[in-house]
Structure 1
Amino acid sequence: MKNFSFLLMVIVLVSCKSTYLDAKKSPVLLDINKETDDYAFVNLKNYSNDFVFDMKYATPDNFLKEKVYPCGECFLRVKTIKSLLEANKAFLDKGYKIKLYDCYRPIAIQKQMWKIVPNPTYVANPKKGSIHNKGGAVDITLVDSLGIELNMGTKFDFFGEEASHNYSNLSKDILENRKFLKEIMLQHNFKSFDSEWWHYNLTNSSADKVSNQKWRCED
């Protein structure tokens, strides 16, 4: 009985440990194509230096007005990163790169966000979850070679009609910037979200499981 209790304790400890993702950056870039599990969560920073990160929910600079992430990391499923790297390569070839605002979001943080703003217009109900909770969604914009964001007409997480892909009462430059972002993303296995110009879901990612793997921040 004592041996069984000890074994059970070890299993519980290992299980608890495995729910955390390590945010420590690899000293060298890794090859995403060598990852054999497409559904594993990995840190984008370990596979490319060609992205800009502005993880809004790791700061109070967001519509919640609160920091809800422990630190600004971008974890995604391997299959999502494979497509995102290809999309970014296409942008790089044209003199731009992707800037990320949000990536994978544990369901526990989704619940925290819902507690702050319990309104499905702004926050997905955690009972159902969102593609962010499945590691298949990214919130992004583009920056030019000087790191300046392209004008997309609204800020990230602006919830008025002006943020919609279908809203046309904008300048020609803004409409062209949104079209440029959307066309490249759609060419690389992502789908747009009508009401938010910044939000893209990996195709068929809605069938994946909601996850609650949190990350340990690098010291």
Structure 2
Amino acid sequence: MKKLLLILVALVLVSCKSSYLSSKKSAVLLDINQEKDDNTFVNLKNYSRDFVFDMKYATADNFLKEQVYPCDECFLRVKTIKALLQANQAFIEKGYRIKLYDCYRPLAIQKKMWKIVPNPTYVANPKKGSIHNKGGAVDITLVDSLGVELNMGTGFDFFGPEAGHNYTDLSAEILANRQLLKSIMLQYNFKSFDSEWWHYNLNNSATDEVSNLKWRCED
């Protein structure tokens, strides 16, 4: 009986441990191509120093006006990071870098967002989930060599027609910036979201499972 109890305790501990993603950073950059499972969730910060991070939902600087992430990490599935690294390299060769606003979002956070703003125009209903909950979506913009954001016409999470890819009553500079972002992202296996210039989904990621893996923050 005692042995059985010890086994059960061990299983519970393993289960608890495996339900969290570690935010601990590797001392050296890792090679994403060495990852064998394309569906594993990993931290983008362990594979590149060439991105800029402005994780809006780890702050109150978002349309919810509330912090819903415990800290500003960017977890994604391995296959998403592989494509994102290639896209960012293409931007770097043109003098730009990707700035990230949002990455993987646990289902529990989706539910919290829905509770704050229960409107499918602004937040995906957690009953269905979003590609963010599957680790296949990123919200991004571009910065130049000085770290200045390119003018995209609206801010992140602006919910109006001006944020859409099909809205053309914008300056030539804005249209060119959006086209630059979109053309390279599409080239590297992403697809755009019509109403949000910042949102890109990895192709075929809609068939992946919704996840509720959360992350522990570094001390």
Paired with 2:23 and 2:180, the residues of 1 have a C-alpha distance of 32
Match of 2:32 in 1: 32
Q: Deviations over 1:137-178 (max 9, x none)?
A: 000000000000000000000000000000011111100100
Q: Give, in angstroms, the shift of residue 25 of structure 1.
A: 1.0
Paired with 2:13 and 2:118, the residues of 1 have a C-alpha distance of 33
Q: Give, in angstroms, the shift of residue 13 of structure 1.
A: 1.7
Match of 1:110 in 2: 110
Match of 1:99 in 2: 99
Q: Deviations over 1:179-210 (max 9, x none)?
A: 00000000000000000000000000000001
Greater alpha carbon shift after TM alignment, 16-25 vs 55-64: 16-25
Residue 121 of structure 2 corresponds to residue 121 of structure 1: yes
Task: Say what the alpha-carbon RMSD is for the aligned residues.
Answer: 0.7
Match of 1:149 in 2: 149
Output aligned runs, 1:1-219, within 5 Å.
1-219=1-219
Q: Give, in angstroms, the shift of residue 73 of structure 1.
A: 0.4
Q: How many residues align?
A: 219
Residue type of the partner of 1:127?
A: K
For the residue of structure 1 that corresponds to 2:114, the secondary structure is: helix
Paired with 2:46 and 2:179, the residues of 1 have a C-alpha distance of 29
Gaps in structure 2 of 5+ consecutive residues? none
For the residue of structure 2 that corresponds to 1:98, the secondary structure is: strand
Paired with 2:155 and 2:188, the residues of 1 have a C-alpha distance of 24
Paired with 1:162 and 1:5, the residues of 2 have a C-alpha distance of 60
Q: Give, in angstroms, the shift of residue 4 of structure 1.
A: 2.4
Gaps in structure 1 of 5+ consecutive residues? none
Q: Give, in angstroms, the shift of residue 5 of structure 1.
A: 3.0
Paired with 2:6 and 2:29, the residues of 1 have a C-alpha distance of 39
Q: Deviations over 1:64-102 (max 9, x none)?
A: 000000000000000000000000000000000000000
